[in-house]
Structure 1
Amino acid sequence: MSTAAAGMHDDDLSSAEELEESPPLTRMAIALLALAGLVISAYLTMYKVGLLGEIQCTIGGCEKVQTSRWSAFLGLPVSAWGLGAYITLLGLAILGLQPRFVRERWVALALFGLSAVGVVFSAWLTYLEAFVIHAWCQWCVISAILITLIFLLSLPGLRQAR
């Protein structure tokens, strides 16, 4: 069937092909946000394992949060879990930018699933900061915002995937 018979002009066809071949902007944004989260979680992990002497915090509650009994989960610092999640999200986003994987549903599902778990976990930690620890860690709040943005950016990928 010719493009004219299908109701498409050559210009429409080339635009559709370019759109399909170009990497999704949401995955680029997810990669950048995951990189920012990776830096923050690496910083907090280095503090938690004793590689940094003092944590830099403009609001003053970071040390209290980072030394609370809630700062570890299953024997690992919470920030190390975040580090692993952000590394994985960064890898998935970069993989999802490759032409071979742009439309793969499993990439979209993995980005969505991991970021959804991250949002729930961050919500729990934010609750603990507010109502149990009674202190705020600015880095934790920024991380919660980053994972929420990553989650929101993962939603269009579910529709666009095969």
Structure 2
Amino acid sequence: MDSPVHAEPRRGILGLSWRQCVALLALVNAFVATYLHLWKIGKAGALACGGGGGCQIVQYSPWSYFFGVDVALIGAVGYSTLFLVAAIGSLPRFEDLRAFALTQMALVYAAFLFTLRLKWAEFYKLRTFCPWCAISAVSITILVVIVTLEWRRQRTPQ
């Protein structure tokens, strides 16, 4: 009996599948967001930010909270969740399940919209620049592209 034909999962970069790329980026960003949260609550020493003090301005602004929760903590939890979804979805028995691609898309697109709101506040309300925030914004934009490519891979008939 022939096995079903599936889209090839190894079409990412560096020999990784798209989901593995998502997992890697999410893990790195989970550490960055955790570092920022730990700094904010006084558990991480000095904040490595560069000149200008933009990170401190952003971290202590009202925009750094969403419904009373630290945005860096939201990022740490969100990126950790995305890491788990992508890592589990990368397992051979799950690599062709669309539920993982849809969950990734929901998490990443929501985070992208949230990031747009935060970058708007950073530039237009606070009139400052935070390198850590920029890293997160670039990463989430790359993740939008990657999860979209993963979705297209899943939808491409073989």
**TM class, shorter-chain normalised?**
0.7 to 0.9
One-letter amino acid of the structure 1 residue matched with residue 126 of structure 2 = I
Secondary structure of 2:28's partner?
helix
> What amino acid is aligned across from residue 123 of structure 2 in structure 1?
A
The percentage of aligned residue pairs carrying the same residue is 34
* 1:121 and 2:114 matched: yes
Q: Which residue of 1 aligns with 2:49?
A: 57
**Residue 105 of structure 1 aligns to which amino acid in structure 2?**
R
Task: Confirm whether residue 80 of structure 1 aligns to residue 68 of structure 2.
Answer: no
Q: AA paired with 1:94?
A: A
Residue 132 (structure 2) aligned to one of 130, 139, 142 = 139
Query: How far apart are the structure 1 equivalents of 2:146 and 2:152?
Result: 12
Work out whether 1:66 is the aligned partner of 2:56.
Answer: no
User: Which ranges of structure 2 fall in alignment gaps of 5 or more residues?
Assistant: none
Give the letter aligned to residue 87 of structure 2: I
Q: Tell whether the 8 Å contact from 2:9 to 2:18 is kept in structure 1 after alignment.
A: no
- Asked whether the equivalents of residues 27 and 93 of structure 1 are also in contact (C-alpha less than 8 Å), the reply is yes
Q: State the alpha-carbon separation in 2 of the partners of residues 52 and 94 from structure 1.
A: 28
Over the aligned positions, Cα root-mean-square deviation in angstroms equals: 2.3
Q: Which has the higher helix share?
A: 1
Give the deviation of 1:20 after TM superposition: 4.1
Residue 69 (structure 1) shift: 1.0
Paired residue total:
149
Q: Determine if contact 2:108/2:140 at 8 Å carries over to the other structure.
A: yes
Q: Who is 1:156 aligned against? A: 149
Which runs of structure 1 show a deviation greater than 6 angstroms over 4 or more consecutive aligned residues?
Answer: none
Do the aligned residues in 2 keep the contact of 1:59 with 1:136 (CA within 8 Å)? no
- In structure 1, list runs of 5 or more residues that go unmatched: 3-12
CA contact (8 A) 1:42 1:80 kept: yes
Instruction: Name the SS of the counterpart of 1:50 in structure 2.
Output: coil
8 Å contact from structure 1 (residues 23, 99) kept in 2: no
Q: Distance in 2 between matches of 1:66 and 1:119?
A: 19
The residue type equivalent to 1:156 in the other structure is L
**Is the Cα contact below 8 Å between 1:59 and 1:138 reproduced in 2?**
no
Equivalent residue, structure 1, for 2:96: 103
CA deviation string 1:66-108 (max 9, x = no partner)? 0111111111100001001100111111111111110111100
TM-score normalised by length of structure 1: 0.83
The question of whether the paired residues in 1 share the 8 Å contact of 2:10 and 2:18 is answered with: no
